[in-house]
Structure 1
């Protein structure tokens, strides 16, 4: 089932490299507009939010649309790793407000080692 939006976390990437990748994947990326700590742009028809250091050294990339080439976070994360060669993490099945803390700590890690499920405690 297609997710309504996509959110992935990238290590050691910057929004300019992300913009180039998104331009190739989704359509021309508008210049990034900084608002506080957040950067926003449009990639094709998809609103994009980039939050540097959202979780420690990890940067959040949020695509606010279901009109992407990726059905879910994992396929987007795999494409991001292939294009950018940086470790990427995402929720295994999308995220829901009602899920338990234990479920919330389950993440998929995409790296040179492949795809694996990990425990990542993101809450303080």
Structure 2
């Protein structure tokens, strides 16, 4: 089932490389607009939010649409790793507010060693 939005976390990725990847994967990107610690742009009309160092060294990338080329976070994370060569983490499925804390700490890590489910405490 297609997720309503996409959110992945990238380690050691720079904003320009991410924008170039989005442009190749989705379409033309507007210039980034900074608001506080957050940067926003649009990739082929899809609202994109970039939060540098959202969790420690991890940058958050949020695509606020179900009209992306990816059905879910994992598909996007796989593509981001293939294009950028940096470790990527994402939730294993859509996260719900009412989920237990333990469920919220389950993540998928994608890197040169492959794909693995991990526990990631982000607080």
Superposition deviation, residue 83 in structure 1: 0.2
Supply the distance in 2 between the matched residues of 1:34 and 1:14 (Cα, whole angstroms): 15
- 1:64 alignment partner in structure 2: 64
Superposition deviation, residue 94 in structure 1: 1.8
Supply the distance in 1 between the matched residues of 2:52 and 2:20 (Cα, whole angstroms): 17
Structure 2 residues without counterparts, runs of 5 or longer:
none
TM-score normalised by the chain length of structure 2:
0.99
- 2:17 alignment partner in structure 1: 17
- 1:105 alignment partner in structure 2: 105
Superposition deviation, residue 28 in structure 1: 0.3
Superposition deviation, residue 89 in structure 1: 0.1
Count of aligned pairs: 123
TM-score normalised by the chain length of structure 1:
0.98
Superposition deviation, residue 91 in structure 1: 0.2
Supply the distance in 1 between the matched residues of 2:107 and 2:28 (Cα, whole angstroms): 30
- 1:26 alignment partner in structure 2: 26
Superposition deviation, residue 45 in structure 1: 1.5
Superposition deviation, residue 8 in structure 1: 0.1
Superposition deviation, residue 7 in structure 1: 0.1
Supply the distance in 2 between the matched residues of 1:16 and 1:34 (Cα, whole angstroms): 14
Superposition deviation, residue 76 in structure 1: 0.1
Q: Tell me if 1:7 matches 2:28.
A: no
Supply the distance in 1 between the matched residues of 2:98 and 2:108 (Cα, whole angstroms): 19
Supply the distance in 2 between the matched residues of 1:93 and 1:64 (Cα, whole angstroms): 16
